[in-house]
Amino acid sequence: RELEVLGDVKGKELVGLTYEHPLRQNVTCPVVAGGDYITTESGTGLVHTAPGHGQEDYVVGMREKLEMVSPVDDAGRFTAEAVDGQLEGMSVLTDGNEACIKMALENGALLLEEPYAHKYPYDWRTKKPTIFRCTEQWFASVDGFRERALDAIKDDVAWVPASGEKRIHNMVEGRADWCISRQRVWGVPIPVFYEADTREPVLDDEIIRAVQQLFREKGSDSWFEMQADEILPEKYRGRGLVKGTDTMDVWFDSGCSWAAVSDSRDSLNFPADLYLEGSDQHRGWFQSSLLTSVASRGEAPYRRVLTHGFVLDEKGIKMSKSIGNVVDPMEIIAGGPNKKTHPAYGADVLRLWVASADYSNDVLIGPGILKQIADSYRKLRNTLRYLIGNTSDFDPKRDGLPLDQLPALDRYMLGSLARVAADAQKAYDEFQFVRVYQLLLRFATVDLSNFYLDIAKDRLYIAAPSAARRRSCQTVLALLLQDITVLLAPILPHMAEDVYQALPATRACAEPSSLFEHGWLDSDALHRELWSSGADEHGKLEQTWKEIRAARDVVNRCMELARSEKTIGASLDAKVRIYVPTSANAMVEALSSLRGGRLGATDEVDSLSSVFIASDVEVVTDEELVRECRHVVADESDGPTKGMVVGVDRAEGTKCERCWCIDPAVGS
């Protein structure tokens, strides 16, 4: 249909005019200014406003004093109010919609009808379009205690993560009155009675106390099972009062859980130590609990609130039965029908995955992720198995050495253990389980397996059973085993208990016992006390070994070069020469603290050959002596090894069949 443009007019120039209702005769309606939700980018900028059928429209209707008409019943059908009864009984979304179009055409009010795509709200569960209606509800005002609630959020509660404070503060600060009524077939009823004719509510303290006593004796279902006069106090009976059918908002219901649980039981505390739930609960349980508690008790119902993200599948997609991407925790623990594709990982691996996830954001889970976590679990378990195996003949009371007499390497490792334990304790206190996971996994793999235990093999396997250098190492291993097991226990309780039951001291006990009966780490343990009291000394020791470990990395690189070219096989086949420029004072001092020379010529733990696991190691002051070696690595990084030059040749001498060290003295 061709249309002729007669002129242009701005929307604000129409405000205040009236127009004829397109479906009802002799009815005029005003043109009013809308809100920010009306734009020219989405639609025409000219919209129909129905105050009884939309929140934004309701606000505009209240402002402009428009009539609140909502001619739709509970079944989604038009009532007699709609177009003077002409649409009564018709479905709003089907035949009623078609009837409206037909009437508009007949009245000459509709210029064009055509389908087009636009946004419309759908119910997430039924996947059907929704209908908004203005209905009578019960509200609780928050104005009387809003400021006290905001003060409690800021001053009385610790939020984990800290961003949760701002999130809930903004919600409480800007929230409207709380609609506490719902129209459900079952729930906690709102104890209101109504006059049968006028629908005026009847409610006072006496009625509330009567209902309260009834619920205490028979439960809230009695509201639905009994007649009104059976519930009401004597003076209200016989008046024909009708029970209300509204139920309480479930968030009000759950928001009172602090009163029914922590505030009502002697074994619990009020306020609660911790509330934890998903991040969506700033709008739900956290807020409803806060508001009910502040309103009735003047304080928050919790001291700390922890929020976490949601669990998504491996691709970051929300889990859904219809999609088929739901990960079943029991299948992770016990395995699926096909154990090759869905192996049984056990509860500890599932718990380790939880600890490994940064719950401040949404977390992912799937076969690939679980496989990685299982690998981490095996690394931790194998490290503990190694510690158990090498302390099987060790009795700390009988064989342990005084800690202040241990070699520098062993004292350094005990200091590192004390630091890791302190950091893990702090992380536990702050609910940073991912930090605990990272600390312990790194300590087990980098500090123990790749460094300390690698060096310790010579002492543990070659030295006499009661040799001082072996007992020194076992003293450290026993303390490592003790502390790591306890630190892992909250995350991996089954593995920790397995380790505890395998300890010689546990097996020797006459009565069965559990790790979880022995409490947390002993803060007064001697190795922790020495570490904390000698912080300056340990700081120097830690810096020294930081330099030595950096040098060890360069030596290992040079050994790998020699190994790739078949000059050596095992690292004990190597003779190492190291040059450090005089400008690298810290490195020079660190390497000077260890004895140089052949490994077979000394039992000292603090020796270069022991730390680098080479048959012969020497630090030289002439760079050319290093350059003469068959394999040379010059470090040019900006770190502590800058300017270091390492050379590797095959060691001179004969290989010892017992310790595999190559030395000219073997066989002589």
Structure tokens at 5: 């443009």
| pLDDT value at residue 456 | 93
Q: Quick check: helix, strand or coil at residue 366?
A: coil
| Pairwise CA distance, residues 519 & 309, whole Å | 31
Give tens-digit pLDDT for 434-443.
Answer: 999 999 999 9
Burial code of 577-613, b = ≥16 C-beta within 10 A, e = fewer? Answer: bbbbeeebeebeebbeebebebbbbeeebbbbbbbbb
Q: Quick check: helix, strand or coil at residue 120?
A: coil
The H or E element that residue 482 is part of is helix 468-488
Per-residue confidence at 601, pLDDT binned at 50, 70, 90? low
**Domain shared by 230 and 304, yes or no:** yes
Per mean pLDDT, which of 45-54, 558-567, 599-608 is the most reliable?
Answer: 558-567
Distances from the Cα of 626 to the Cα of 356, 548, 559, angstroms: 45, 18, 14
Per mean pLDDT, which of 106-110, 134-138, 468-472 is the most reliable?
Answer: 468-472
Per-residue confidence at 135, pLDDT binned at 50, 70, 90? confident
Q: Is residue 248 part of a domain?
A: yes
pLDDT at residue 43 is higher than 80: no
Q: Which of 485, 543, 560, 471 is nearest to 515 (CA)?
A: 485
Q: Is residue 642 part of a domain?
A: yes
CATH assignment of the domain containing 97: 3.90.740.10
Q: Domain boundary residue among 479, 508, 533?
A: 533
| pLDDT value at residue 508 | 63
pTM score: 0.79
**Domain shared by 210 and 243, yes or no:** yes
**Domain shared by 468 and 521, yes or no:** yes
DSSP conformational letter for 420: H
Distances from the Cα of 34 to the Cα of 50, 60, 260, 354, angstroms: 11, 6, 46, 49
| Pairwise CA distance, residues 452 & 354, whole Å | 29
| Pairwise CA distance, residues 308 & 306, whole Å | 7
CA neighbours within 13 Å on the CB side: how many for 283? 3
**Domain shared by 252 and 374, yes or no:** no
| Pairwise CA distance, residues 419 & 414, whole Å | 9
Cα-Cα end-to-end distance for the chain: 114
Per-residue confidence at 11, pLDDT binned at 50, 70, 90? confident
Q: Quick check: helix, strand or coil at residue 189?
A: strand
CATH assignment of the domain containing 461: 1.10.730.20
> Are the C-beta atoms of 604 and 611 separated by less than 8 Å?
no
pLDDT at residue 28 is higher than 80: yes
What phi and psi values does residue 440 have, to the nearest 5 degrees? -70, -40
pLDDT at residue 212 is higher than 80: yes
**Domain shared by 299 and 154, yes or no:** yes
| pLDDT value at residue 535 | 66
**Domain shared by 512 and 457, yes or no:** yes
Q: Which of 21, 29, 24, 28 is nearest to 84 (CA)?
A: 24
| Pairwise CA distance, residues 425 & 406, whole Å | 26
Q: Is residue 292 part of a domain?
A: yes
Q: Is residue 343 part of a domain?
A: no
Q: What mean pLDDT do residues 418-423 have?
A: 93
**Domain shared by 568 and 596, yes or no:** yes
Q: Is residue 508 part of a domain?
A: yes
| pLDDT value at residue 406 | 92
Can you name the residues that pair with 595 across neighbouring β-strands? 607
Q: Domain boundary residue among 106, 131, 159?
A: 106
**Domain shared by 383 and 509, yes or no:** yes
Give tens-digit pLDDT for 72-123.
Answer: 988 899 999 888 889 999 999 999 999 999 999 988 888 888 888 888 889 8
427 phi-psi bin (left φ>0, alpha ψ -120 to 50, beta other)? alpha
CATH assignment of the domain containing 258: 3.40.50.620
Per-residue confidence at 308, pLDDT binned at 50, 70, 90? very high
pLDDT at residue 39 is higher than 90: no
Q: Which of 453, 416, 420, 426 is nearest to 439 (CA)?
A: 420
| Average pLDDT, rounded, for the chain | 90
| pLDDT value at residue 600 | 65
| pLDDT value at residue 500 | 92
Query: What percent of the chain has a predicted confidence (pLDDT) above 90?
Result: 60
Q: What mean pLDDT do residues 281-296 have?
A: 94
**Domain shared by 386 and 516, yes or no:** yes
DSSP symbols for 518-555: S-S--TT-HHHHHHHHTHHHHHHHHHHHHHHHHHHHHH
| Pairwise CA distance, residues 427 & 214, whole Å | 48
In the block, which residue shows the tokens 């929140």? Answer: 55
Give tens-digit pLDDT for 326-349.
Answer: 889 999 999 988 888 889 999 999
**Domain shared by 61 and 184, yes or no:** no
Residue 487 structural domain: 368-533
pLDDT at residue 621 is higher than 80: yes
Q: Is residue 616 part of a domain?
A: yes
Residue 301 has a CB neighbour count (10 Å cut-off) of 27
| pLDDT value at residue 432 | 94
| Pairwise CA distance, residues 404 & 421, whole Å | 20
Per-residue confidence at 264, pLDDT binned at 50, 70, 90? confident
Q: What mean pLDDT do residues 224-229 have?
A: 93
pLDDT at residue 35 is higher than 80: no
Per-residue confidence at 1, pLDDT binned at 50, 70, 90? low
**Domain shared by 296 and 194, yes or no:** yes
**Domain shared by 502 and 563, yes or no:** no
Give tens-digit pLDDT for 486-542.
Answer: 999 999 999 999 999 988 777 667 677 899 988 898 877 777 877 776 667 778 899
Into how many domains does the chain fold?
Answer: 4
Q: Is residue 226 part of a domain?
A: yes
Peptide bond just before 343 cis, omega within 30 deg: no
Q: Is residue 641 part of a domain?
A: yes
